[in-house]
Amino acid sequence: MKNWYQNLLLNHPYLKFLGSRYTLVLLFFTIWMLFLDNQSYLDQRVLNKQIDELEDNKSYYKKEIKKDEQRIKNLKSPGMIERYGREKYYMKRDSEDVYIIDIEDDKIKDSIENAKH
C-alpha cells in the first residue's frame, strides 16, 4: 500500500504539496468560511442584496414623501382643496351637473401601458 503511494508521489509531485497538513488546514478553513460558517460568504451576498433593495426602497419612499409634502403645501388654500375634490373625487356643488367623458383611445393606451408593466 505504501509503495503505491510513493509511486503516485513520484509520478505527480504536486500531490506532495497538496497532501501537506498546512495545505489541508488552509483548505478546510477556506471551505468552512465560505460555506459552513454562520457568517459565510454566501449568506453575506444574500444579505448585501437585501440591503441594496432596502436602500432602493428607502430612496423611492423619500422621493414619494417629498412629492406628498408638495401636494400638502398645495392643498393649503381653499381653491386648491376644491379643485382636488372636483378632479379626484368628482365632487360638485348642488347647482352643478358633472359629466364624465371616457374616451376609448385613453382606455387602449392605458391597457397597453399596464400590459407592459
Tell me if 42 sits within 8 A of 34, measured CB to CB.
Answer: yes
Domain residue spans of the chain: 1-37, 48-117
Least confident of 1-15, 24-38, 72-86: 1-15
pLDDT above 80 for 78: yes
Most confident of 57-66, 71-80, 103-112: 57-66
The per-residue pLDDT for 65 is: 97
pLDDT above 80 for 61: yes
84: exposed, middle or buried (Cβ count in 10 Å: 0-12, 13-18, 19+): middle
More confidently predicted of 84 and 103: 84
What are the helix (H) ranges across 1-117?
A: 2-11, 14-18, 21-31, 41-74, 78-89, 104-116
Distance CA 18, CA 20 (A): 5
Tell me if 42 sits within 8 A of 35, measured CB to CB.
Answer: yes
Distance CA 26, CA 59 (A): 42
pLDDT above 80 for 84: yes
Q: Which residues touch 80 (CB under 8 Å, ≥6 apart)?
A: 74
pLDDT above 60 for 1: no
8-state DSSP, 31: H
